[in-house]
Amino acid sequence: MTSIELVVLDMAGTTVRDGGVVEQAFQRAAERTGVADRMPWDDALRYVRDTMGQSKIEVFTHLSGGDRAAAERATAAFEGAYDEIVAEQGAEEIPGARAAIEQLKADGIRVALTTGFAPVTRDALLDALGWHDLVDVALSPIDAGRGRPHPDLVLTALMRTGTSSVQAVAVAGDTVSDVRSGLRAGAGFVAGVLTGAHDEAAILDAGAHAVLPSIVDLRAALPARELLAPTAAR
User: Which value, to the nearest 10 degrees, does the dihedral of the CA atoms of residues 108, 161, 115, 132 take?
Assistant: 70
Q: Which residues pair with 112 in a beta bridge?
A: 8, 137
Length of the chain in residues, anyone? 234
Could you say which of 3.30.379.10, 3.40.50.1000, 1.10.1740.10, 3.40.50.300 is the CATH number of the domain covering 6-17+93-233?
Answer: 3.40.50.1000
Question: Looking at the whole model, is its pTM more than 0.75?
Answer: yes
The pLDDT tens digits for 3-48 are: 999 999 999 899 998 877 888 888 888 888 877 777 777 787 788 8
Going from N- to C-terminal start, the domains of the chain cover 6-17+93-233, 21-89
- State whether the Cα torsion 67-12-49-35 is positive or negative: negative
* Of 188, 173, 168, 193, nearest in space to 109 by CA: 168
The pLDDT tens digits for 119-140 are: 888 888 898 899 989 999 999 9
CA atoms within 13 A on the CB side of 146: 9
Judged by average pLDDT, the poorest of 12-21, 33-42, 63-72, 213-222 is 33-42
